[in-house]
Structure 1
Amino acid sequence: MNYLMVFVFGGLGGISRYSLSLMLQGNVFPFSTLIVNLLGCFLLVIVNEYLSLKWKLPKAIIVGIGTGFIGAFTTFSAFSMEFMQLYKAGEVALALTYIGASLIGSMIVINLAYWLVHHALNKKGGNV
């Protein structure tokens, strides 16, 4: 069942990433990949913390959403390739900004998501 969920949700995640990248096409800076990866970090915490703790969803659904949807939605390979393209084009400052925004941004959104989830669970009487 896990494989089926990863397959179904993975297709939805890939389509979502492609659609978002079409809407956010930029000139030089790869905003679409940055936004997709930061959003994926945020969503993964929501899935693993809130959905699994509060809604007690079946493991197959959690795996499908986390590994399937979010795994297909986010992209480390595009991030790496875009960094190298910026670097090879002589845009070293922009390339380093991209790495910094990706790494620091991911830590910020992950902490924000953890705070929101645990705040919501504690406020509603849930124990974490």
Structure 2
Amino acid sequence: MRGDAAVVAAVAVGGALGALARYGVARMIPAAPDTFPWATFTVNVLGCLLIGILLVLVTEAWTAHFLLRPFLGVGVLGGFTTFSTYAVEIVGLTDEGRPVLAFTYLAGTLVAALAAVVAGVWFTRAAVGVAVTKGSDDG
């Protein structure tokens, strides 16, 4: 039971820090109506890059403390990224009569986010010298 409380606390603290970081990005990249939502796009793609890096480090390169992955992966990066806002913004762009922009945002985020995860994994493996095993799903 004690470990469960520690994991919940790690996720909560990490989530608060991630949400604060997302708020900071949103303040630095304000969104004008009827324009591409760059702040949300940025945090989602950056968060995906960072999760690719993190997961290689904590599962393949390091023996990490059991709270590091929930704190950083679920907490910080879960609070930093915002795919729910992404969905709301797509609906909003569509409702505002901007279907091409909505589709561009929809597809662009999906492609960029997936590419960011893969890039994070590949570059981190190369940087830390982790070999990709034959038959792995992503190598």
Q: Same fold (TM over 0.5)?
A: yes
Q: Distance in 1 between matches of 2:72 and 2:7?
A: 10
**What TM-score results when the alignment is normalised by the length of structure 2?**
0.84
Within 2, Cα distance between the matches of 1:50 and 1:20? 25
- Counterpart for residue 17 of structure 1: 22
- Normalised to the residue count of structure 1, the TM-score between the two structures is 0.91
Structure 2 residue 114 is the aligned partner of structure 1 residue 100: no
1:14-57 CA-to-partner distances (Å, cap 9, x unmatched) read 10000111101132110000000001111111111124432322
Equivalent-residue separation in structure 2 for 1:9 and 1:55 (angstroms): 20
- Do structure 1's residue 4 and structure 2's residue 6 form an aligned pair? no
Deviation at 1:83, TM superposition (A): 0.3
Partner of 2:125: 118
* 2:126 partner SS: helix
Aligned length: 125
More helix by share: 1
1:48 aligns with 2:55: yes
State the superposition RMSD in angstroms: 1.3
Instruction: Give the AA of the match of 1:22.
Output: R
Runs of 4+ in 1 over 2 A off after TM superposition: 51-55
